[in-house]
Amino acid sequence: MNQIRVLPLENVHNFRDYGGYSVAVGGKIKRGLLWRSGEHGGASEADLSAIAALELATVIDLRGNGERAANPCRRPQGFAAEVLFHDGETAGLALHVEAAQGVINEAGARAAMQRLYQDIAFRPNLIPILKRYFAALASRDGSSVVHCLAGKDRTGFAVAMLHHALGVHRDDIMADYMLTNVAGNIDRRIAAGASAISDKYGAMDDATVRTLMGVEAAYLEATFAAIEQRHASVDAYLAEVLGVGEAERSVLAERFVD
């Protein structure tokens, strides 16, 4: 497989390989097995062909029922992957849409995103699908893709937790998270987000929308700080909340680290 990180798709945004990073015990996460993205509802025929070439075995859809009904994913011909999801809501609204409520400017958008990130690890309606994500990676063979609506907040958090579980350095965890701001057709992704936000809350200026549709290091740092405040460490959070203790981490490392 061509060892690219960002898959240059037309209408599926932020589609990229989150393998390839070094881990603390030595070695690197395998490439071509772990993919992340935004939702696939607007996938073009070319997008579907590119996704089919990945031969996905598992799709972990972090969206809730309402989001999936509003934006059902298109699938390639012959699609055979198992799609895992939580039968309920996982966020009510995607975080960037939720953050937009009552926001009038860029500073307000930034503050709202940071507040939501302080709570993302503890949302009772999101934790069940995060558990399924880890369980699927520990038990299912083949490649997978994890996605939400924009592929940046819920997906970004899930990926950060897997990276930590595998022993990726915090700097590389952050680097992968920040790739959202440069991966793929940024203007098209922001335009799609702006449409969803304006449909719900009315028009917003470009700087505010870009803040909502992008990521900042302070957002993920707020999550780590909240986890460490409540559970003392990310390791403890993984074990106590997501059921990913030392044994589960060993299984994941055996499957995904070379």
10-residue stretch averages of pLDDT, the chain, 258 residues long: 77 96 97 97 96 98 94 95 94 67 80 92 96 98 96 97 98 97 82 72 79 92 98 98 98 98
Q: What pLDDT is recorded for position 100?
A: 64
Res 160: pLDDT: 98
User: In the prediction, which pLDDT does 208 show?
Assistant: 85
pLDDT of amino acid 37 = 97
Tokens for 124? 């009772």
In the prediction, which pLDDT does 196 show?
Answer: 72
Q: What is the pLDDT of residue 192?
A: 75
Q: What is the pLDDT of residue 1?
A: 35
pLDDT the model gives residue 99: 64
